[in-house]
Amino acid sequence: MNIKSIQKQIQKRRDRRVKKVRRTILESLSQPRFTVYRSGNHMYAQIIDDIKRITIASSNDLKIKGKNMENAIIVGREIAQKAIAKKVKKVIFDRGWYKFHGRVKAVADSAREAGLEF
């Protein structure tokens, strides 16, 4: 096997996981979606209204550098405060292709502690 075929297999697995997670989320579009993205260097979160197709709150403007757990907790807390300021309390958590542990779980738990319900 060469590198290209391995990369294609990995991408197929990711796509399958994303479809599986989003299938359950998109069945109930009455609530905004709380998405998490984990890059190699940073942690990002967004709250998206799929009906209106707008982003309600985003962590892109935060000046947080690094990829550790403390920064993930800060991202979750800040995104929850922004959402509550815009009168959004109930959301659906979208983990994408990531497993619900580590930094992804830290973002979710800190958002819950800050007042978001999901």
Distance CA 50, CA 94 (A): 12
Report the DSSP beta bridge partners of residue 11. none
Burial class for 111, CB neighbours closer than 10 Å (0-12, 13-18, 19+): buried
**Segment (H or E) for 58:** strand 54-58
Q: Which CATH architecture group holds 3-114?
A: 2-Layer Sandwich (3.30)
Higher pLDDT residue, 70 or 62? 70
The yes-or-no verdict on residue 102 having pLDDT over 80 is: yes
Give percent of the chain with pLDDT exceeding 70: 97
Mean pLDDT of 10-28: 86
Span 63-99, pLDDT tens digits: 777 678 999 999 999 999 999 999 999 999 988 888 8
